[in-house]
């Protein structure tokens, strides 16, 4: 996986948006994310990488993607299909 982020047709893509729902990523997702979306520069820092991806990109997916857990579930589902 390279990434998942919203885009804008009329201006710059949104990033670092205010978080509307604070539900965090479930630890049960992390073994799958380790395989499909690792930090390619340092695999010991996957969690920091995922946190950055959520804050910069995933937080702007509201209301379609309404929380951190939903963001990572969506990444996994998109990878599988």
Active site residue 26: no
47: number of Cβ within 10 Å: 14
Task: In whole angstroms, give the CA distance from residue 71 to residue 28.
Answer: 14
**Six-digit token string for 62:** 């509201």
DSSP line for 55-81: HHTGGG-TTTS-SHHHHHHHHHHHHH-
Active site residue 70: no
Catalytic residue (one of 30, 57, 68, 70): 57
Catalytic residue list contains 57: yes
Active-site residue, selected from the candidate residues 30, 53, 70, 73: 53
Tell me which of 2, 30, 68, 70 is the catalytic residue.
2
Active site residues per annotation: 2, 53, 57
């Amino acid at each position: 996986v390279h990434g998942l982020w919203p885009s804008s047709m009329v201006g710059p893509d949104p990033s670092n948006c205010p978080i509307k729902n604070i539900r965090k990523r479930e630890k049960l997702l992390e073994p799958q994310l380790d395989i499909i979306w690792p930090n390619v520069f340092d695999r010991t820092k996957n969690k920091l990488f995922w946190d950055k991806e959520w804050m910069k990109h995933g937080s702007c997916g509201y209301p379609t993607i309404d929380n951190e857990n939903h963001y990572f579930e969506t990444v996994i589902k998109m990878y599988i299909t």
